[in-house]
Amino acid sequence: MFIFKRVAHIQDWIQKRKAEGWNIGFVPTMGALHKGHLSLVEACKQNCDGTIVSIFVNPKQFNDKKDLVNYPRPIERDLKMLFESGVEVVFLPEVEDIYPPDSSTTIDFDPGVAATTMEGKFRPGHFSGMAEVVYRLLNITTPDCLYMGQKDFQQFSIIRKLISDFKLPINLELCPTIREESGLAMSSRNVRLSEQAREKAAMIYANLVEAKKSFQAGKSVEEIRAQFFAALIQEQFNPEYMEVVDGYTLAAVEQMNQAEQIVVCCAVFVEEVRLIDNMVLKGE
Ligand code: AMP
């Protein structure tokens, strides 16, 4: 397994492999890897000749500096996991490699309504920072395929739009959310939960399942939201939002026939740890 820190080095490797006819797949991550990340690696390995995984905690997408400082960085463990899963290349850039101090070009990507709803509403600047880093990483790695998780559906939806807007020749694959046995979506943040809270946090998933049933049964979004909030507050959780949206535009929807893809998304604080999850209601 190659570990590249410098852009020129990884680009040299990519250029050589592409010249040999390799099909390159890319899995961007912020590290603190778990089985969710590894499922993306697995999907990538199945479809591509070479798998590149990047680990980069992107400062531009953290609106909360405390969250950035507290973000787990178990790099030795991550590298071991990637080695054991058989990836060809790990890209481990420094901030200066991605954002050269002498660069004056910024990307003015406006994700539209996506930037002002859900994660965009509660984490101002998050998606422009995320879109910029993904765009920069795609420029560096020029992959044929890009693998992203449904766990961060809004992020996926914004990158799907970015790829389509810029006509990038990249095949974007959405991989299903990997969950703990309890149903809790795997996340790098879960390690910050007490054992008891981690168990109880499975309620988020259970209530998304309830929301799905209610929506399919024709209940109003307002009613579903009230039910969702009440159930979580009863457990001393602090739900931030629960929205039913068009998977493409991320605009709110009220009925099943209003969009081709419909997703229910939520963010919930559990012991001050912010957890997000979602469920596709229509159009997997
Ligand atoms: P992160 O390191 O949190 O930025 O995530 C990197 C990639 O892994 C993103 O495409 C996430 O959507 C994906 N991912 C994170 N958690 C999971 C999960 N539980 N199941 C599937 N994919 C995930």
The 10s digit of each residue's pLDDT in 176-200 is: 999 999 999 999 989 899 999 999 9
Determine the pLDDT at residue 283. Answer: 87
Q: Which residues 6+ apart lie within 8 Å of 209 measured at CB?
A: 279
Sign of the C-alpha dihedral computed for residues 95, 101, 102 and 103 taken in this order: positive
Closest of 264, 223, 218, 220 to residue 241, by C-alpha: 264
Atom of ligand 1 nearest to the CA of 152: 12
157 — alpha (psi -120 to 50), left (phi > 0) or beta? alpha
Closest of 77, 80, 18 to residue 50, by C-alpha: 18
- What is the mean pLDDT of the segment spanning 161-182? 96
Determine the pLDDT at residue 72. Answer: 84
The 10s digit of each residue's pLDDT in 90-123 is: 999 999 999 999 988 877 777 778 878 999 888 8
Closest of 39, 36, 7, 35 to residue 138, by C-alpha: 7
What residue type is assigned to position 128 of the chain? S
Closest of 117, 120, 30, 113 to residue 67, by C-alpha: 30
Determine the pLDDT at residue 149. Answer: 98
Determine the pLDDT at residue 280. Answer: 95
Active-site residue, from 9, 34, 37, 126: 37
pLDDT band at 239; cut points 50, 70, 90: very high
- What is the mean pLDDT of the segment spanning 246-259? 92
Which mutation among 27, 30, 34, 37 tests ligand 1's pocket best, with the greatest number of atoms within 8 A of CB? 37
Is 37 an active-site residue? Answer: yes
Q: What percent of the chain has pLDDT over 90?
A: 81
Give the binding-site residues of ligand 1, using a 6 Å CB cut-off: 29-30, 36-37, 39-40, 148-149, 151-152, 175, 177-178, 185-188
- Burial group, residue 136, by CB count within 10 angstroms (0-12, 13-18, 19+): buried
For ligand 1, atom 22, the nearest C-alpha belongs to 149
- If you measure from the C-alpha of residue 221 to the centroid of ligand 1, how many angstroms do you get, rounded to a whole number? 27
Burial letters for 221-252: b for 16+ Cβ neighbours within 10 Å, e otherwise? Answer: beebbebbbebbeeeebebbbbbbbbbbbbee
- What is the mean pLDDT of the segment spanning 255-259? 89
**Segment among 12-21, 59-68, 152-161, 202-211 with least mean pLDDT:** 59-68
Q: Over 90: is that where the pLDDT of 52 sits?
A: yes
